[in-house]
Amino acid sequence: MNLSTMGTPTKSEIPTEKVACDLCGADAPMVVYRHGKAPGGKDWTYEDIVAGSDHFDAVALVDVIEHVPSPKTVLKEVARVLKPGGAVYLVTPDMKSLTSRLMGRYWWALRPGHIFYFDAGTLKRTLEAAGFEVVHTSSYGRIFTLGYWYSRLNTYPAVLRVPVGWFVRIFGLETKFTFINTRDSIEVVARKK
């Protein structure tokens, strides 16, 4: 199996002896997303990541699509490099989630680096326009230490931030890894038509 990733660990970070696939990874710096130039001034294109049509069985775009200037162009390139019936795995913030609506301007995903925002419907339509059929959609949770989760609350209202910080510090939970699903990210698997 051939797997391409963007925004996820590179080959050197994954123990490939435990993974039955060839892995190609790319995680361009934010300067590329903002200016279209790689370090050193070279123009960056999606072709710099992969070459050859019908090459990969799967492509993973984890926290990537919201950063690129043309999501549809990226997804069409993904469709080009996928073998017939290949799959794209995609994760992005969900603009219409209950969490995003409740948090309003405090929602973590409202950032300058996020150029596009999606919900399940807009993401499905964008994938379909690029030649995919969505076969799975769900919310996506994350695993981080409670200390990290707490640090992400620094822009949130004190009524939320203070009690959480107190709890984490009092019980010494800063380094405890915890899975939290705030239901404000979308996980999608789509198959190339």
pLDDT band of residue 21 (cuts 50, 70, 90) is very low
Q: Could you tell me which of 141, 79, 99 has the C-alpha nearest to residue 71? A: 79
pLDDT digits (tens, 9 = 90+) for 43-56: 545 555 545 788 88
User: What number is the average pLDDT over the span 12-24?
Assistant: 42
Report the pLDDT value the prediction gives residue 20, as an integer from 0 to 100. 41
Check pLDDT > 80 for residue 140.
yes
Cα 26 from Cα 92, distance rounded (Å): 17
> For the ranges 28-37, 121-130, 139-148, which has the lowest average pLDDT?
28-37
Q: Which residue has the higher pLDDT, 19 or 131?
A: 131
Q: Could you tell me which of 41, 37, 14 has the C-alpha nearest to residue 25? A: 14
pLDDT digits (tens, 9 = 90+) for 23-35: 455 544 433 444 4
Sign for the pseudo-dihedral over CA of 42, 44, 48, 53: negative
The CATH number corresponding to 2-96+113-141+183-192 among 3.40.50.2300, 3.40.50.880, 3.40.50.150, 3.40.50.970 equals: 3.40.50.150
